[in-house]
Amino acid sequence: MAKQERAVRTRRLILEAAGAVFDEFGYESTTIAQILARAGVTKGALYFHFASKEELARGVLDQALTLEGILPQESRLQEWVDVGMVLAHRLPAEPLLSASVRLSADRKARDLFGTSWPAWIDFIAGQLAEAKAQGEVLPHVDPGATATLFVGAWTGVEILATAHDESGALEKRIALLYDTFLPGIAVPGALRNLDTSPDRGARVWKLHQAQHHARQEEAAAATA
Amino acid sequence: MAKQERAVRTRRLILEAAGAVFDEFGYESTTIAQILARAGVTKGALYFHFASKEELARGVLDQALTLEGILPQESRLQEWVDVGMVLAHRLPAEPLLSASVRLSADRKARDLFGTSWPAWIDFIAGQLAEAKAQGEVLPHVDPGATATLFVGAWTGVEILATAHDESGALEKRIALLYDTFLPGIAVPGALRNLDTSPDRGARVWKLHQAQHHARQEEAAAATA
């Protein structure tokens, strides 16, 4: 493995450990020693990448809003559904995502670093505004207020689902969140064609991974 | 003031201080010394009421699910709206309510004490089941799953609103949560008559307080 690639992996390993420990104990109670123990790296390696607990938390939050995996769709509402469903699919398996939700909800961490919410709200407000421009959204719906509401609701539904820990619970509950929100947001014609089944996130993510892999192979073949 | 009444007030003062400190620092980081300083009571007074930080947290959570202020309505859906709107009205002014939401969302505290969610979910599931029985709810709606979804969404919307701290924000956002949920839940005829305006909670709460006060005066007059 090239030296640089190894550094990238170590950095990610440390962030994942930090995410898991922040997630479990909260920002304030977490110590660097706990993160070191979880990551299984040396103190030198950790401090090479991150000077302090604050920097570790910022690193986790920077990974937060990943919109990777959203494929373009004719319906902007379907893309909005896909954002929340792909995240619901990925979160239980990715400690960095779940830690960033937790850090945003942690009052102490939030006062220090802000949250990943504003970027997420802006993104969804943009999707809803585009959906409205192409006639998919009811006239009285305010894209900004609805995006803020949705990000809050998504976050709370995730917190409760994680607290109760059934497998697949998050995808089912987020699917129900969309099914409950959509009749208040979408025009009936747009509603009919939306796919909000609980496995939507898994399918979109799998397709995205396959396309990503194919592009990588193509690039490798081109340089061979 | 009678001795007993003084003890009840001191207990409440300590719980409110504990709630505010848990709310600010999280369960794990909070110390008894911080709660003492906030409450302005002696160590002796605190330990007379609560033997430990754990007991203080349980005390806060026991205060959590207060359904006080819900007046009977012909429409069960209106009562469901009133639960969430009265809570949205009261929470910003009552540290115990906001602390109990925070303690439920705090992973460490949750592992130790459980949360106030199950009781809240059961109550709302009961309201939705009654609303369904009297024909106010769409046939495909599952009262239990919808109650769980709603409590999660309410919690997350509260967490985001508190993080951003505009006054009156919570009542506006919870009103929008109902407006967005209801078309996916209520039959159109029931929907038309519901009052979901942002000041609904304040009005219902004021009326409840007035009735409560009147009953107290009546009781006092009867014993005079």
Q: Which domains does chain A have, with CATH numbers?
A: 3-62 (1.10.10.60), 76-223 (1.10.357)
Q: What Å distances lie between residue B150 and A36, A190, B31, B120, B185, CA to CA?
A: 39, 24, 33, 10, 11
The set of long-range contacts for A68-71, using a CB threshold of 8 Å and a minimum separation of 24, is A68/A208, A69/A204, A69/A205, A69/A208, A69/A209, A70/A204, A70/A208, A71/A204, A71/A207, A71/A208, A71/A211
pLDDT of residue B95: 79
Say how far residue B118 (Cα) sits from the centre of its chain: 13
How far CA B215 is from CA of A129, B207, B208, B222, in Å, comes to 51, 12, 11, 10
Residue B88 identity: A
In this complex, the residue of A149, A153, A182 whose CB is nearest that of residue B184 is: A182
**B66 pLDDT higher than 80:** no
* Average pLDDT, integer, range B104-132: 86
The answer for B 172-201 residues in CB contact with A (under 8 A) is: 173, 176-177, 179-185
Q: Does A138 touch chain B (CB under 8 A)?
A: no
Residues of A in Cβ contact (< 8 Å) with B117? 160, 163
**Residues B183, A179: C-beta atoms closer than 8 Å:** no
pLDDT computed for residue A81 by the predictor: 96
Looking at residue A80, its pLDDT comes to 96
B112 with B61: CB under 8 angstroms?
A: no
The rounded distance, in Å, linking the Cα atoms of A128 and A58 is 29
Check residue A137 and report its DSSP letter.
B
Nearest-CA neighbor of A175 among A161, A189, A188?
A: A161
Check residue A1 and give its pLDDT.
Answer: 58
Is A146 close to B180, i.e. CB distance below 8 A? yes
Distances (CA, A) of A135 to A80, A118, A130, B184: 15, 25, 9, 20
Q: Which pLDDT tens digit goes with each residue over B172-214?
A: 999 999 999 999 999 999 998 899 999 999 999 999 989 888 8
Higher-scoring residue by pLDDT: B149, B220: B149
CA distance B159 to chain A (A): 7
- The pLDDT assigned to A67 comes to 66
Read off the DSSP letter of residue A75.
Answer: -
The CA distance from A175 to B82, in Å, is 26
CB contact under 8 A, B149 and A157: yes
Residue of chain B with shortest Cα separation from A154: B153
| Cα(B190)–Cα(B136) distance, integer angstroms | 5
| Of A163-167, B57-61, B105-109, B121-125, minimum mean pLDDT range | A163-167
Cα–Cα distance between A211 and A131 in angstroms, integer? 25
pLDDT band at B155 (very low <50, low <70, confident <90, very high): very high
Q: Which residues of A touch B145 (CB under 8 A)?
A: 173, 176
pLDDT 10s per residue in chain A (224 long)? 577 888 888 998 999 999 889 888 888 888 999 999 999 999 999 999 999 999 999 888 877 666 666 788 889 999 999 999 999 999 888 878 888 888 887 777 777 777 778 888 999 999 999 999 999 999 999 999 999 999 999 999 998 988 766 677 999 999 999 999 999 999 999 998 899 999 999 999 999 989 888 888 888 888 76
Residues of chain A found within 8 Å of residue B146, distances taken between Cβ atoms: 176, 180
- Which pLDDT belongs to residue B86? 93
Q: Mark yes or no for CB contact A25/B108 under 8 Å.
A: yes
Average pLDDT, chain B: 89
Chain B residues lying within 8 Å of A117, measured CB to CB: 160, 163
Closest by alpha carbon to A194, among A40, A49, A31, A81?
Answer: A81
Torsion angle, alpha carbons of B139, B144, B150, B156, to 10: -150
Percent of the residues in chain B that have a pLDDT greater than 70, as a whole number: 95
Closest approach of B4 to chain A, Cα-based (Å): 36
Q: Is the pLDDT of residue B222 over 90?
A: no
pLDDT at A65: 61
Query: Residue B212 and residue A14: Cα distance in Å, rounded?
Result: 57
Average pLDDT over residues B121-145: 96
**Angstrom distance (rounded) from CA B119 to CA B125:** 10
Among the partner-chain residues B24, B25, B152, the one whose CB lies closest to the CB of A156 is B152
Which whole-number Å values give the CA distances from A2 to A5, A7, A9, A13, in the listed order?
5, 9, 11, 17
pLDDT band at B64 (very low <50, low <70, confident <90, very high): low
Percent pLDDT > 90 in chain B is 54
Which pLDDT value is given to residue A66? 63
**B-chain residues within 8 Å CB-CB of A148?**
160, 173
Would you call B26 and A28 a contact, using CB atoms and an 8 Å cutoff?
Answer: yes
Q: Which residue of A has its CA nearest to B179?
A: A184
> What's the CA gap between B110 and A30, in Å, rounded?
17
Say whether A152 and B156 touch across the interface (CB within 8 A): yes
B146/A29 CB distance under 8 A: no
Q: pLDDT at position B75, please?
A: 93
User: Among residues B128, B16, B77, which one has the least CA distance to residue B85?
Assistant: B77
Q: Determine the pLDDT at residue B156.
A: 93
A24-33, A107-116, B12-21, B159-168, range with greatest mean pLDDT:
B12-21
Give the distance from residue A28's alpha carbon to the nearest chain B alpha carbon, in angstroms: 6
Instruction: Find, in chain A, the residue whose alpha carbon is nearest to that of B170.
Output: A149
Contact A160 B146 (CB under 8 A): no
Q: Give the pLDDT band (50/70/90) at residue B2.
A: confident
Q: Which of A171, A180, A185, A191 to mutate to test the interface with B (most CBs of B within 10 A)?
A: A180
Mutate to test the interface with A, among B157, B162, B172, B178 (most CBs of A within 10 A): B157
Residue of A nearest to B111 (CA): A163
Q: Which residue has the higher pLDDT, A171 or B163?
A: A171
